Amino acid sequence: MKVQSYLAFNGNCQEALSFYGELFNAKIENKTTYEDKKIDVPSSYRKKLQHAELRGKGVGFMAYDAAPDTPINSGNQVHMSVDFNDKHEAESVFNDLSKNGITHTGFGEKEWGFYGRCTDEFGINWMVNAKK
């Protein structure tokens, strides 16, 4: 299991990661845009980052440009992301996290694996992933 932060941006994720990369001597990895995705976003948003990671010595977090229909505020710019190798373990943890909270995206299959997003009863945002 791996737990790490996931930062959300309003269309300036690439610029932010470039800044943080220079600042912390880290590299942007695993970049994916909305370009070839079956997600309803405006054509002007297709080159924005759907996912990216900043990695370096002592530095590691993920980031993305939230879709235009997802308003960003100071309460939802950071999510904790948990990656599992086992789908059943991931689903169990997701169910426990969302039990007394709010489910934003029910745990289910996506093109990269299994995924669910929720806010727990303490107001912490979580993204739970499992490999296919």
Looking at residue 85, its pLDDT comes to 94
At residue 75, does pLDDT exceed 80?
Answer: no
Spatial neighbors of 127 by CB under 8 A, at least 6 apart, are 6, 79, 80, 81, 82, 115, 116, 117
Residues, the chain, total? 132
Element (H, E) at 64: strand 59-65
Looking at residue 89, its pLDDT comes to 94
Model confidence at 7, pLDDT cuts 50, 70, 90, reads: very high
Rounded CA-CA distance 47/116 in Å is 24
Task: State the CB neighbour count (10 A cutoff) for residue 29.
Answer: 13
At residue 105, does pLDDT exceed 90?
Answer: yes
DSSP-assigned beta bridge partners for residue 118: 103, 126
| Domain boundaries, position 118 | 2-130
| CATH code of the domain containing 30 | 3.10.180.10
Count of domains in the chain? Answer: 1
- Identify the weakest region by mean pLDDT among 10-24, 34-48, 95-109: 34-48
Q: What is the mean pLDDT of the chain?
A: 92
What whole-number percentage of the chain has pLDDT above 70? 100
Please check whether residue 116 is in contact with residue 106, taking contact to mean a CB–CB distance below 8 angstroms.
yes
Rounded CA-CA distance 26/55 in Å is 5
User: C-alpha angle 41/45/46, rounded to 5°?
Assistant: 85
DSSP-assigned beta bridge partners for residue 103: 118
Looking at residue 58, its pLDDT comes to 83
